[in-house]
Amino acid sequence: MAGDRKGRQTPTQSHTLPYTESKGDHAIELYEKTGRVTMPWQKLLNYDILATNEDGLWVHTRYGYCVSRRDGKNEILAMRELEGLSDGEQILHTAHRTSTTHKAWERILGFLESIYTFNVVSTYKAYGKEHIILDNGGRIEFRTRTAKGGIGEGFDLLVIDEAQEYQDDQESALKYTVTDSKNPQTIFCGTPPTPTSSGTVFTKFRRDTLAGMNTNAGYAEWGVEEMSDVNDRDIWYETNPSLGYTLTERAIADEIGTDEIDFNIQRLGLWIKYNQKSAISEKEWNALEVVVLPKLTGKLFIGIKYGHNGANVAMSIAVKTAAGKVFVETIDCRPTKAGNDWIIKFLKRAAWNKVIIDGANGQQMLADEMKDNRLPKPVLPKVVNIITANAQFEQGIFSGSIVHKNQPSLARVVSNCEKRAIGSNGGFGYKSLDKDADVSLMDSVALAYWAAKEYKETSKQKIGY
């Protein structure tokens, strides 16, 4: 039983400029007139966002925060917008999806009508064109973001909801909308990007603000710094400030599925350390090269990938090193029409622990040939396993846990690839940007690396079909 336990009320990471005055109390007072109760972490962020200097200007002209889903992060935006409307501010609320802006319009209009302090003189609810105007001149517009949206208009407050999807071209159009304000402010609100998120602005803003490199900027987040156990309830409480208030352990437990990476991102606030718009660079891959072969421990883990077009089949190996890393290398990539004899010969003479075979156009045939040759049964991964393998492979690159001897063929495809979406929950695979480089080479390495990370070696192999 969780009892009276509450989620962590202070950020796991933050950068806040010093201040002595804030309009936070007034914003909280307005919000609680709606009958809602402000949680301590929400009060803290309100004070930081609405902090003012001796001239009455915002201490943070830009402020971002990142909280996991269903924790109440949009209530922070509502408090800030209520405060702005009460002061007659001109506000632009933007989001990635039209449904999100419409819900934001419904939320603010409902709050204003329940407070009875404000007189709404105009409101419009058409999708994509919602607005609210008060008798004191306060105005809020709700827009779905585009590369040209907002150009030529002026506002005091710019809200970037779903900030993980905020793109560079959108920022170029929107950031100037608050330039003419005497007291401008931009608020970024979002969750960590998934592998298929298109935005880059929020990632850079987070990195630079936490490093103290952004002027007049603040940032706060709740999240883990590395992949964590999805069943560890202590971590749930560290990364979800509303747990024990409006969010329950039961609700979180029901979210746990087979995709642990997605749970780490969406619920535990993990920021995957890669650039969402680009694949692996030549520099990043070369940084993992070892001149001397490291001391290897244990047996091989073998990844075999039949290409999507059925033309080639690639085989790679991964083996753990004494230094706790994983050495990877491609064995070969040959035309499928040449048959599987070369693979079977390798499997017969090599000392290996697990074989992973992917590719609907060849995996079952090879599995049958392995059975005929009395070789141990291979693993035929499901889609969720492929998603995990690709994500772990990329994490291995950026964490430095992968090492290699820099084979030219493998380096060519790794440094010339981009992501492609797999499934509907943010999973990704790879495709080659070089028409002469077969991505199955890279896929086979990812499978071998995943096997090395996921499977424990056994002292004795058993054949079972």
- Supply the CATH number for residue 61's domain: 3.40.50.300
Q: Same domain, yes or no, for 255 and 355?
A: no
CA dist 214 and 208 (Å) reads 6
What's the average model confidence in pLDDT over 84-93? 96
Q: What is the pLDDT, as a whole number, of residue 436?
A: 76
Asked if residue 274 belongs to a domain, the reply is no
Q: Same domain, yes or no, for 172 and 25?
A: yes
CA dist 408 and 234 (Å) reads 45
- Which pTM value belongs to this model? 0.63
What's the average model confidence in pLDDT over 270-294? 79
**CATH number of domain containing 388:** 3.30.420.280
Asked if residue 66 belongs to a domain, the reply is yes
Q: How far is CA 148 from CA 99, 144, 151, 172, 173, in A?
A: 19, 11, 6, 9, 6
Q: Looking at the 3D structure of the chain, how many domains does it have?
A: 2
Mean residue pLDDT of the chain comes to 90
Residue 178 predicted with pLDDT over 70: yes
In 3-state terms, what secondary structure has residue 239?
A: helix
CA dist 74 and 144 (Å) reads 16
Residue 372 predicted with pLDDT over 80: yes
Asked if residue 391 belongs to a domain, the reply is yes
What's the average model confidence in pLDDT over 287-307? 95
What's the average model confidence in pLDDT over 90-104? 93
**Measured in Å, how far apart are the chain's first and last C-alpha atoms?**
44
Q: What is the pLDDT, as a whole number, of residue 142?
A: 94
Asked if residue 276 belongs to a domain, the reply is no
Length of the chain: 465
Q: Same domain, yes or no, for 55 and 126?
A: yes
Q: Same domain, yes or no, for 257 and 313?
A: no
**Residue 217: CB atoms within 10 Å:** 22
Q: Domain boundary residue among 216, 239, 266?
A: 266
Category of 430 on φ-ψ map: left (φ > 0), alpha (ψ -120 to 50) or beta: beta
Contact between 162 and 96 under an 8 Å Cβ cutoff? The reply is yes
Q: Same domain, yes or no, for 301 and 447?
A: yes
Q: Same domain, yes or no, for 42 and 85?
A: yes
Any bridge partners for residue 132, and if so which? 123, 140
Q: Same domain, yes or no, for 350 and 216?
A: no
Q: Domain boundary residue among 241, 266, 291?
A: 266
3-24 pLDDT, tens per residue? 689 999 999 999 999 999 999 9
Among residues 255, 272, 261, 251, the alpha carbon closest in space to that of 229 is found at 261
Q: Same domain, yes or no, for 103 and 231?
A: yes
383-442 pLDDT, tens per residue? 999 999 999 999 999 899 999 999 989 998 998 888 887 876 678 888 887 777 889 999
| Tokens 């914003």 found at | 27
Report helix angle 73-86 to 40-49, nearest 10: 50
Q: Same domain, yes or no, for 262 and 368?
A: no
Asked if residue 8 belongs to a domain, the reply is no
User: If you average pLDDT over each of 111-125, 343-357, 447-461, which comes out highest?
Assistant: 343-357
430-459 pLDDT, tens per residue? 888 777 788 999 999 999 999 999 876 554
Q: Which domain holds residue 217?
A: 13-266
Asked if residue 164 belongs to a domain, the reply is yes
Q: What is the pLDDT, as a whole number, of residue 320?
A: 95
Q: Same domain, yes or no, for 296 and 262?
A: no
Q: Domain boundary residue among 232, 266, 300?
A: 266
Asked if residue 460 belongs to a domain, the reply is no
Q: Same domain, yes or no, for 89 and 182?
A: yes
CA dist 126 and 92 (Å) reads 16
Question: 317-344 burial, b for 16+ CB within 10 Å, e for fewer?
Answer: bbbbbeeebbbbbbbebeebeeebeebe
Residue-wise DSSP of 177-203: GGTT-SS-EEEEEE-PPPTT----HHH
Q: Same domain, yes or no, for 326 and 218?
A: no
Q: What is the pLDDT, as a whole number, of residue 456?
A: 63
Asked if residue 393 belongs to a domain, the reply is yes
Report helix angle 341-349 to 363-372, nearest 10: 50
Any bridge partners for residue 112, and if so which? none
**Residue 100: CB atoms within 10 Å:** 18
Among residues 117, 79, 92, the alpha carbon closest in space to that of 178 is found at 92
Q: What is the pLDDT, as a whole number, of residue 380?
A: 96
